[in-house]
Amino acid sequence: MAAKDTAPSLEILARGPEGCFVWNGPPFGNDEPSVKLERVPCSSAKFSEDGSRLLVMKSDFVISIYDCSSFKEIKSFQVPNVLAAVLSPCGTYLQTFQKSSTPQVKNLVLWKTESGESVHQQFQKNMTKTTWPSIRLSSDEAIACRMATNEIQFFDPKDFSKGIVHRIRVPGVAAVELSMVPGSHVAAFIPESKGVPASVQIFACGKEMQSQPVARRSFFRCDTVQLKWNRGSTGLLAVAQADVDKTNQSYYGESKLNYLTTNGSHEGLVPLRKEGPIHDVQWSCSGSEFAVVYGFMPASATLFDKKCHPLLELGSGPYNTVRWNPKGKFLCLAGFGNLPGDMAFWDYVDKKQIGTTKAEWSVTSEWSPDGCYFMTATTAPRLQVDNGIKIFHHNGSLYFKKMFDKLYEAQWKPESPDRFGDIAELIKSVDSLKVTETKSQGQGAVSKKPAPAQKPAAYRPPHAKAAAAVQAELFGGSSTEQMSKNALKNMKKREKQREKKAAEAATTAGGSL
């Protein structure tokens, strides 16, 4: 493990209408983040998985690659009609997808980021969230594969000029997920067809071990699936989702959580103690435990070991999100989206809750790579108002807040958690930091306390309001309704006029005597 004094600094990428910029992450000097990369006009920006490279898509189909150690541009690509671009996990390759009308045009291109050389080209008819990126590489870039019609194709990542080096025949395959650390296995999803149930199958990536799946799980009532590998590539969580719940218990369809292991020790459903949808599931950094948020509201949350045995119940509440700390010590349960933003922070090692707070209207959320901070962001186009970033300590106390007129995304620069010191020592080093709140440019500081919210009045239909006003004018008040401001004003005006006339009459009468 890296020593504390050699740990990298945290960095934050934010993007708005005028482009993206990079801040130094917490702890902040003078309670304000400093700028690491000045604003760059762009339509999108994304780090590579290891945080070594930054991809920035600019206008006129220009794609720039930055070295994240210095944030200097190292290469620029001009790719006409580009629709999507992504970096490989280590930043070695840039993959682009261009709009194409004929199969003769090879619109999927793999480029070397250092030299700008094109190392692989092929035609791809369309692109979806399930099929992008088309060529998948493991985290160490030792394995590369691609889903094709009825098969999974493998390449040599060090020499793509060899073309397809071997294939796995998988009839009807609709989605694949390559295990990341290490890239030893690949999972394939085959939808229902002609009465045959849907299935998830796991294959070994070694050429001599690909004839039969090492694990398989079949199920009916499944339209889509989410595949989540653990670190170590020994276990796979598969969330099977059906668009229609035939039991009529949920408008949002039906979902089941399946668990498969590469050694065949477990192939079945995860034993959940409550009926309802699977809201979220995430592996711990060790790959030995996973957390699930599930069930009808209030949802339940449970931690399981890799044998599917419950380890810890986190209770129930308005939650639909779970985020596990990169160091494995803390985790956050939250309710975002259409939920009010409640967050509960837990210490997994000590098996206790350490804090609660709220982050209303949050769209994205993630732990910092060192595991000490938790960042939420309210972004457009999901929400057009109250855009901004909030950073919390590990126990839920607010550390920093920044508002924007409009914010499209905010993300931590990826770093390996192993490069940071022990989590307990890191927490001690930031305990003295104070909470700060800043405003975006153009917004003044708050100079007065907000007025207390008034209790909303009961609804009255227009005809009742008119009747009350007439009653107030005729009789000077109402026995059942409080007079409106206008009626009260008119009544006082009439009383003053009557008093004035009475005084004038008394003066006139006195003068005539």
Reported as a single tens digit per residue, the pLDDT across 382-406 is 988 889 999 999 889 999 999 999 9
The dihedrals phi and psi of 139, each to the nearest 5 degrees, come to -60, -30
Q: Is residue 376 part of a domain?
A: yes
Q: Is residue 313 part of a domain?
A: yes
Listed residue (288, 294, 283, 285) closest to 241, CA to CA: 294
Q: Dump pLDDT digits (tens) for 1-12.
A: 444 457 788 999
Q: Is residue 318 part of a domain?
A: yes
- pLDDT (0 to 100) of residue 458: 53
Q: Is residue 377 part of a domain?
A: yes
Q: Dump pLDDT digits (tens) for 1-40.
A: 444 457 788 999 999 999 999 998 888 877 788 888 899 9
Pick 180 or 86 by higher pLDDT: 86
The dihedrals phi and psi of 285, each to the nearest 5 degrees, come to -65, -25
Mean pLDDT of the chain: 82
Q: Dump pLDDT digits (tens) for 227-282.
A: 999 988 888 999 988 877 766 666 777 888 999 998 888 888 889 988 888 999 99
- What is the count of structural domains for the chain? 1
Q: Dump pLDDT digits (tens) for 172-220.
A: 999 999 998 888 889 999 988 888 888 999 998 877 666 788 888 888 8
Q: Is residue 93 part of a domain?
A: no
Q: Is the pLDDT of residue 473 over 70?
A: no
| CB distance 44 to 63 below 8 Å | no
Q: Dump pLDDT digits (tens) for 289-345.
A: 999 999 988 999 999 988 889 999 998 999 999 999 888 889 999 999 889 899 999
- pLDDT (0 to 100) of residue 2: 43
Instruction: Provide the CATH number for the domain around residue 306.
Output: 2.130.10.10
- pLDDT (0 to 100) of residue 464: 55
- pLDDT (0 to 100) of residue 426: 61
Average pLDDT estimate for 459-465: 54
Q: Is residue 330 part of a domain?
A: yes
Band (pLDDT 50/70/90 cuts) for residue 460 is low
Q: Is residue 88 part of a domain?
A: no
Q: Is residue 18 part of a domain?
A: no
DSSP 226-278: EEEEPTTS-EEEEEEEESS-TTSS-TT-EEEEEEEETTSS-EEE---SS-S-E
Q: Is the pLDDT of residue 84 over 60?
A: yes
Q: Is the pLDDT of residue 447 over 50?
A: no
- pLDDT (0 to 100) of residue 6: 73
Q: Is the pLDDT of residue 475 over 50?
A: no
Pick 323 or 428 by higher pLDDT: 323
Q: Where are the alpha helices (DSSP H) in 232-377?
A: none
- % the chain with pLDDT above 70: 83
Q: How many CB atoms lie within 10 A of CB 344?
A: 20
Give residue 293's domain range: 275-419
Average pLDDT estimate for 483-493: 72
> Going by C-beta distance under 8 Å and a sequence separation of 6 or more, which residues neighbour residue 479?
none
Question: How do the residues of the chain divide into helix, strand and coil, expressed in percent and rounded to 5?
Answer: 15, 40, 45
Between CA 374 and CA 284 the distance in angstroms is 16
pTM of the model: 0.77
Q: Is the pLDDT of residue 288 over 60?
A: yes
